[in-house]
Structure 1
Amino acid sequence: MKHEIIEMTPLQHAPRSTWCEMSEKLRQRLHLPKNLTSLKIGCGMHTVTCTIVFIKEDHFGLSLSEDVLNKLCLPIHSLSLQGTLKNNQQLQLGPVIGLLTEVKTTEDGVRFGSIHEFCKELAAYCMNKGVFFYIFSLTTYNNQQIEGYYLHESEWKKSIVPYPNVVHNRISSRKRERSKEFLQVISDIIENNVPYFNERFLNKWEVHQILSESEHLKPYLPMSQLYESKSSLEYMLTVNKDIFIKPINGSQGRRIFRVKEKDDQTYLLDFTTFSGEINTEFTNLQKLYSALSPRLKKGRFLLQETIQLNKYQNRTLDFRFLCHKKDFHQWKVTSAVARVSEDNQFVANLARGGQIYPIKSVLSELYGKDESRHLRKMLAELSLEIVNTVSLHAGGEFGEFGIDLGLDPKGHPWIIEVNTKPSKLENDQKSERVRPSARSIINYCLFLSQLNGQ
């Protein structure tokens, strides 16, 4: 079905409550008969039948009475939306995309956490494509009537919004994603046959198990096992003299320990974000375990061998490949960057003070121009193989992954982490540029919206 971008305006004084006026040019493009007196209009899951008249205007214009706009849950001001004639009898506006995340109101306005600036890019791209985009939360959702925030004249406006044709899940809290409120919202969305992604957080152990089933990916996985007791810690330190201890549900490099066994059988401990006094050197394993044990009871942890990865300017280095789904079968690499840690940090996460560098220049400096080209291609192919494997076996619908990879001095790649909801940096371009990841997310939303007839 072809669509047109329709310039929509509210009618202040309509002869009837359910009234619309359509330009002759739009009527011709939609192939509507001249003698048509009523038209069914839909937006999201809402429909209204209204009286229609055609006016001689040379643009794709549609003016709707306030009553019609209210019944379609659209704002009472001018906007541009795609319009498609369905089954030669209903004008469908939209599609409507809803992004589910946490919403916080402050004195300066509304905030959407770490993805606030990214949401502006999503909204800007949707405006250009004639798509109605809004943000909603677990508290603003109601199966009968949703309150959401849409961008209008560079400000987020709160309003009743149409039920979405597709939902992008960006809830940032694992705890909130397990709440009754979240499960109720998702249950409603499924019951209404609305597609949604990214399904849920995946924990590190779950991802490791999926990837370790692939014979091709095994060589790129560090040795890992669940922390269950002192004996599991002792075993890992016997096999590997240098290990990471990571929370399986952790993110942004938080709450990670690193333990090294020295030649004199003392243990060195380093960590990212823990409050309270904790020693950094222990004369035996029992003393190390006694210090770690209370902290390892706060959730489940993964024990993982430390791979001696190549560094950049004597700092920890890894590579973030952002991958997006194009359709049900194809993924693409949308962007790739090198991440370099802050001095004396053993993780390169930006939340821990890391910095972004161009991947091409970093690899060229470390491995030479010709080898760097080969490595970039190899890392991209490995990222795609990882996302294909995880999305196939994890269950649920995923449309975006952030893949963190490292390289050892010989150029052998290692899988560090797989993120289902990768962090979004503020756009440092200070321009109206919409980055490829924002375009890819919306394009996948548009693909999914076709599933329920939009």
Structure 2
Amino acid sequence: MIAFGIMTLTPDSEATYLTEIARLAKKFDIECFWFIPSQINPYSQQVKGKRFDSLTNQWVDGDFPIPSVLYDRCFYGDDDHSKQCLPIVSWLKNRNDITFLGYGLPNKLELYESLKDSILSPYLPVSVFVSDSEMVFQELEARRKIVLKPINGSQGHGIYYIKKNDNSFHVKTEKQKQIISRIFPNKLKLLRWLKPLIQAKKYLLQPYLELYDQSLQPFDIRILLQKNEQGIWTERGRGIRTGTMGGILSNLSAGGIVKNFTEWADTLPPTTAEYIRSELNYILNHLPLLLESKFLPLFEIGVDIGIAKNGSIWILDLNSKPGRKVILQTAPEMKETLIHAPLLYAKHLLGLEQQERKSFYAKTLSH
């Protein structure tokens, strides 16, 4: 039986999704384990976590060896526990006896630097590292409107929109599904607010893109890509995420709602809809292979695409640990496919490894 381990940072993260995977695993000759990276004993290399009992359909506490296949669903932040787990996961990724479904992507700035000279560069908003608060002010002088994003951020947390008016500065963000807005009357007060912000966390700066619809609601397109049982990249679905009127985020965690992509596209002029579909297909045909030419292999990618008021199309974010809410809400019939996907791809990876071993032994014997 294949030992399939799922790693999360908290014991209840994505519990429903992970339990559904475990319930189906037995028919693929797979046994599921669930643990937190910090639960690995560095001396015995035993893990204190949960094993799924297929007879009772329950997770059972226990100790077990590190599983041979790992599905990393850890969402790392700036907290101490994330910093403790990151080097442990890096150590696991360097082991030859362990296979990861996907090896993840770097932070937003590293991603931009790796792709900015590629064929997809026209779709990437210019991104620069925020070195100090004075630099932010200079960019505001030049652009009038900018966006600050945490380099290691996810789910839209910590994103700030800043606009320079004639004599004041308007700052807007979203927290706990609420729009928070402040006016700073002068440069000095803006810089006083900025300095501790960028000292506490690393940020990148981008030009502000007018990514909202006719109702002044921010929106984007979320597309889920996964590898199938043959290891071929497949689109699982796409949907429209729409945020609060006057807000800056369309993320579901910020209160966004989901619309069916086809229904949304049908409301557009036919030439506009065809242009958008063509551009999306071009991006999706090149993006996964381009990423895997720059970084280690992946299993799934969440692609967030923005369409600006002037019709320009932008790659807003790439996530190697995407959620499934958008696809499940717009295409609920995909639920079983999404649950099967990690299990089928794990079997594919182990099949490849066995073929490589056979090839190696054949070469050894021939010599």
TM-score band w.r.t. shorter chain? 0.7 to 0.9
2:113 to 209, 212, 236: 209
1:199 to 103, 109, 113: 103
Corresponding position of 1:118: 17
Q: Which letter does structure 1 place at the counterpart of 2:345?
A: Y
Give me the whole-angstrom Cα distance separating, in 1, the residues matched to 2:171 and 2:33: 46
2:150 and 2:202 in contact (8 A); partners too: yes
Structure 1: gaps of 5 or more residues: 1-93, 105-110
Give me the whole-angstrom Cα distance separating, in 1, the residues matched to 2:115 and 2:230: 20
Q: Which letter does structure 1 place at the counterpart of 2:155?
A: Q
2:38 and 2:88 in contact (8 A); partners too: no
The change in CA–CA distance for 1:124 and 1:229 in structure 2 (over 3 A counts) is same
RMSD: 3.0
Please list the CA deviations of residues 141-166 of structure 1 after superposition, one character each: whole Å capped at 9, or x if unmatched: 34554343315444322234564231
1:168 and 1:198 in contact (8 A); partners too: yes
Deviation at 1:330, TM superposition (A): 4.0
Deviation at 1:369, TM superposition (A): 4.5
Corresponding position of 1:164: 67
Give me the whole-angstrom Cα distance separating, in 2, the residues matched to 1:369 and 1:133: 47
Aligned pair count? 344
**Which has the larger displacement, 187-196 or 337-346?**
187-196
Corresponding position of 2:282: 381
Q: What is the DSSP-based 3-state SS (H/G/I as helix, E as strand, rest coil) of the residue aligned with 1:272?
A: strand
- Are 1:218 and 2:131 counterparts? no
Give me the whole-angstrom Cα distance separating, in 2, the residues matched to 1:312 and 1:157: 51
Corresponding position of 1:360: 262
Structure 2: gaps of 5 or more residues: 356-367
Deviation at 1:258, TM superposition (A): 0.4
Corresponding position of 2:249: 347
1:316 and 1:345 in contact (8 A); partners too: yes
- Are 1:98 and 2:23 counterparts? no
Deviation at 1:200, TM superposition (A): 4.0
Corresponding position of 1:258: 161
Give me the whole-angstrom Cα distance separating, in 2, the residues matched to 1:237 and 1:288: 11
1:195 and 1:451 in contact (8 A); partners too: no
Once the two structures are superposed, the pairs formed by residues 27-426 of structure 1 within 5 Å of their partners are: 94-104=1-11, 111=12, 113=13, 115-142=14-41, 144-146=45-47, 147-150=49-52, 152=54, 153-161=56-64, 163-175=66-78, 176-179=81-84, 182-184=86-88, 186-187=90-91, 190-200=94-104, 202-214=106-118, 216-262=119-165, 264-273=166-175, 280-311=182-213, 313-326=215-228, 330-365=232-267, 367-369=268-270, 371-393=272-294, 395-425=295-325
Q: Which letter does structure 2 place at the counterpart of 1:442?
A: L
Give me the whole-angstrom Cα distance separating, in 1, the residues matched to 2:186 and 2:170: 10
Q: Which letter does structure 1 place at the counterpart of 2:109?
A: W
Corresponding position of 1:438: 339
Q: What is the DSSP-based 3-state SS (H/G/I as helix, E as strand, rest coil) of the residue aligned with 2:266?
A: helix
Give me the whole-angstrom Cα distance separating, in 2, the residues matched to 1:122 and 1:326: 15
Give me the whole-angstrom Cα distance separating, in 1, the residues matched to 2:21 and 2:157: 28
2:169 and 2:185 in contact (8 A); partners too: yes
Give me the whole-angstrom Cα distance separating, in 1, the residues matched to 2:354 and 2:276: 42
1:337 and 1:357 in contact (8 A); partners too: yes
Between the two proteins, what is the percent identity of the paired residues? 22
Task: Pick the structure with greater CA Rg.
Answer: 1
Q: Which letter does structure 1 place at the counterpart of 2:20?
A: E
Deviation at 1:225, TM superposition (A): 1.1
Deviation at 1:387, TM superposition (A): 2.9
Give me the whole-angstrom Cα distance separating, in 2, the residues matched to 1:257 and 1:402: 22
Q: Which has the higher helix share?
A: 2
Please list the CA deviations of residues 128-181 of structure 1 after superposition, one character each: whole Å capped at 9, or x if unmatched: 4332222122244345543433154443222345642311111122454542x5
The change in CA–CA distance for 1:192 and 1:382 in structure 2 (over 3 A counts) is closer
The change in CA–CA distance for 1:346 and 1:117 in structure 2 (over 3 A counts) is same
Please list the CA deviations of residues 8-64 of structure 1 after superposition, one character each: whole Å capped at 9, or x if unmatched: xxxxxxxxxxxxxxxxxxxxxxxxxxxxxxxxxxxxxxxxxxxxxxxxxxxxxxxxx
